[in-house]
Structure 1
Amino acid sequence: MRSRSEHDHDDMIGWDEGAERVRALRDAWLGAAGVETVSIDRIGGRTLAEPLDAPVDVPAQSHATMDGFAFDATDEYPLDVVDADVFPEDEPPTLEAGQAVRIATGAPLPPAANAVLKREEATVEDGRLTGTDLEPGTYVYQRGSNVAEGERLFEAGERLGPKDALLFGDLGVETVAVREPLSVGLLATGTEIHEGKHRDLDSPMLAGLVRSWGHDATYEGSVPDDYDRVEAEVGALARDHDVVVTTGGTSVGDKDYVIRALDALGDVLFHRVRLRPGKPIAVAELPDHDAVAFAIPGKPVGAHAVTTLVARPFFTGETSLPAVAARMARDVDIATPGFAYAIPVTLDDGVAMPLGHADSPLAVYEDAFDPSVLSSSTRATRADGFVLTESAVARDDRVDVVPYSVVE
């Protein structure tokens, strides 16, 4: 383990590189997770254990999408209307060349039919149909047009959402094999927290994130700033859990023992990313304990930022950050080039106000963004999202705002 003097900015990696390394780590560890079968009403947030190919065509038959008359569009008018009506619950009749049949929306087409003439465009006199010329496929939901039998729809490792139950249900799939949730043990470090002099703000937030990502989180208490106790407690939790998440003790101060403990227990993959707030995160593999560890910095807003940006891919497999366009309400300068800055903002009618700016309800900096102060200002969590930037932003500049709902 290197001494404090050996730590400098050169050994840091970009937050996005850290996120990609964490996602690769997830891929390597995913196969070790157990598998269970769940009903499709319980798949939200779960990770698919095996790929799924469509077992059938969807729809299994071609259906009408309008009330009207079904027939072969290559036939010429007038057509003989057969004495029948086809409803969604019916088996369609057989049509001969030159014939048409009345059909309701959602009803299956006769095998020889390939188009539907809308009722309001049809004229029937003496059992003979005339109307608008149609192309095959008009007002028809064609067999297999949604899903073709044998088509690969889901890959193993995909994270499922409630909306996926719609497709599973349409395929007749009632249960799916998913990976068991990860067991995550949360440990707060710091004598001031252990002795009750400071409140542990981070652990409830981190537990909520882990659970929102579909995994099990257990708060395992706190440990004082004592190296032997930190190492022993992290090791014990690694034996009991798939993942250990610690808070505090990730910098390079005299009592920041977490990184040293992780280095003794396993392999620290990286320590510190070019993100403010949230820089001093560390990620480690603990192979002797069959576990992974995330060491999260103690300042709460920075802890949230770096966990959702860098640690999230291990739990969800996702690194994408869909954003909404806005314009910046104020100039925001940055202090140190080469870092990405996660600037909390509120959104109002397409205008992003940096929450923390002197003109905002939370005034902790003037024009230059101050991540060190903001990282401790829990009111910053009232923001609607954040802007990621590596350079200063001018008033009225177009910015991309990542809503917190994207990463939580």
Structure 2
Amino acid sequence: MDQLVIGQTLAFAGDPFVEGPGAARHSTRGAVLIRQGRIAEMGEADTLRAAHPQAAVTDMGSALLSAGFIDAHVHYPQTGIIASWGKRLIDWLNSYTFPEEMRFTDPAYAAEIAERYFDLALAHGTTSMCSYATIHPASVDAFFAAAQARGMRALAGKTCMDRNAPDGLRDTPQSAYDDSRALLERWHGVDRLSYVITPRFSPTSTPEQLMVLGQLWREHPDCLMQTHLSEQTDEIDWVKSLFPQARDYLDTYEAQGLLGEGAVYGHAIHLTARERDRLREAGASLVHCPTSNTFIGSGIFDMAGLVASGLRIGLATDTGGGSSFSMLRTMAAAYELAQLRGTALHPSQLWWLATVGSARALRIEDKVGNLAVGMEADLVALDLGSTPAIAQRSGRAGDLWEALFPTIMMGDDRAVAGVWIGGKRQL
């Protein structure tokens, strides 16, 4: 049966970084018609109700209907250690991340954490994500099995590391290639799942491992490749010592065939001019992880400069280096960091980053990330008065953006009034 979900609707007909807030399309009493898991029609509620009298109606009142949030950079195995007191990146990895990832030798533990992660993500309105797993193939199986059971569009890959990691968390160039290929063949393109080739970052992969993963990517160019780039200054110094022949951090990937369309680099805070140029020329994507950047003290992402350079940019929680599962909190942190660089991101830009922008970064913008006819029906409904503090501020609003901004800055899972995956209501 057709479904009609009614509420305020927010969609994008363009890029608000280019066109301004006018790129958005807002209706105070709109509706989304869902048929067989996709958006079949968009329009005014009264018009669609009259045209489809047999449709099952879910009236969300004044809640804001949007495409579900897309978290473009996640470490689901770090779910259990989120908000752990930390120092710098390398200390944090050694103190928390690596000991936790050792536990994923147990498939049952991997399945438990995967279930917990998806429950938390959905509770915060996140309907798609791109995750790192651990070196263990079972960690990938657990993630994809949990996503598949929920009917979600999800992306992930086995994390590959053959040096500078503890015993039990290292593979080899050959095993990284073999395991990644087997997982790719098992999961890529199954239902709404996509495999991502995943070297953790250059310090934990030898040139030989990066090379074979570059070979695997050439063999399967329809996959994405994800890794980390220029997160912290001491990390960059470490990369220089490990790759003395490289022109810069990006060159450690580029030299091994890990730069191109479909490359997704997390963080990218301390880029050189050459790196910016090459990333743009190659059609690569960057993912901004603002709560992580502040939590671990990494630096301030140059949103305005990188957008002006023409790069694809997504937004992410970076669970669990990031300190929240919420893309609302992530938008708030992105706003705060941009302010420190003298740029006030408009609410339309923040919302676009968390939906269309992240979908573009992951090259799935033809499937999810926007309310448009033909798109998969992954939706979130937001209560714009979810707490007394938010309600008293949004009650004074003169337009949509003034009503929405308090939820961006102060909202959490209490604001999530409904979530639909492939047209099926989850919350």
Bigger strand share: 1
TM-score with structure 1 length normalisation? 0.30
Which one has more relative contact order, counting CA pairs under 8 Å at least 6 apart? Answer: 2
Q: Quick check: which one's helix share is greater?
A: 2
